[in-house]
Chains A and B, each alone.
Chain A
Amino acid sequence: MKKVIIKKQDVEEMISYAREKLPQEACGLIAGSDYGDERVIEKVYYLTNIDASNEHFSLEPKEQLQAVKDMRARGLKPIGNWHSHPESPSRPSQEDKRLAYDSKASYLILSLMEKEAVLNSFHVENGETEKESLEILNR
């Protein structure tokens, strides 16, 4: 199981962005590098949720393509995606599991249902989910 590392500033920006998008789900991509069992998130991308819904998200394909090109230009690897759960816990829903096609990806879920936001990272494979260790760096 991978240990996923993300900067505190990125988490704070993600929370702030997701709160601005309420009541809709916010979403995006994450990019970075793998170092053995450690996965470092070096950039968070904020993409339009074309479902414009509080219960579903789909990334806007043109923005997705631009983000992938930007990752390539920066020498980063696409390592997964993130989305918010405005009114539910930070765990993959049935739909999240069904649409998690990449078993190599990390899926970050940010719950805003309580006053304090909760962020977790998950590995999804064959419909089974496993919570990944998530370290938030104070820098």
Chain B
Amino acid sequence: MYITVSGNKKEVKNGLTLPELIELENVEMPDYVTVSVNDEFLDADKKAGTVLKDGDNVEFLYFMGGGC
């Protein structure tokens, strides 16, 4: 199946899970990454159980914040 990751279309195995994609993409510090699938942000507790589907559009966003 094909999915789009951060704007790039990729062929991946059927039934790829989000944790597998995070590993494939070498996402650093995944605990600090917000994931959206088809523009819907996933709650942190749903990341582990998410199975991707053909045509899904996945984005990884690092939390950005700070102080003063």
Contacts and interface: CB of A to CB of B under 8 A. Distances in A.
Q: Give the contact-size bracket for chain B.
A: 10 to 19
A86 interface: yes
Interface of A: 25, 27, 29, 51, 54-59, 61-62, 64-65, 68-69, 72, 81, 83, 85-88, 92-96, 99-102, 107
B19 to A, nearest CB: 19
Interface string B33-68: 010100101000000000000000001011111111
Which interface residue of B61, B62, B63, B66 has the most chain A CB atoms within 10 A?
Answer: B66
B66 A100 contact: yes
A57 B41 contact: no
A101 B28 contact: yes
Interface string B9-49: 00000000000000000001100101010010100000000
Nearest to B66: A96
The 8 A-B pairs with the shortest beta carbon distances in the complex, nearest first, are A95-B67, A58-B65, A96-B66, A93-B67, A59-B64, A85-B68, A88-B68, A72-B7
A68 B61 contact: yes
Contact of B68 (A62, A72, A86, A101): A86
B63 A99 contact: yes
A93 B68 contact: yes
Given A72-B7, A101-B28, A101-B32, A65 B68 contact: no
A83 B66 contact: yes
Which interface residue of B7, B32, B59, B67 has the most chain A CB atoms within 10 A?
Answer: B67
B67 A64 contact: no
23 contacts: A56-B66, A56-B67, A57-B65, A57-B66, A58-B65, A61-B34, A61-B36, A61-B61, A62-B41, A64-B61, A65-B59, A69-B7, A72-B7, A83-B66, A85-B68, A86-B68, A92-B66, A94-B67, A96-B67, A99-B63, A99-B64, A99-B67, A100-B66
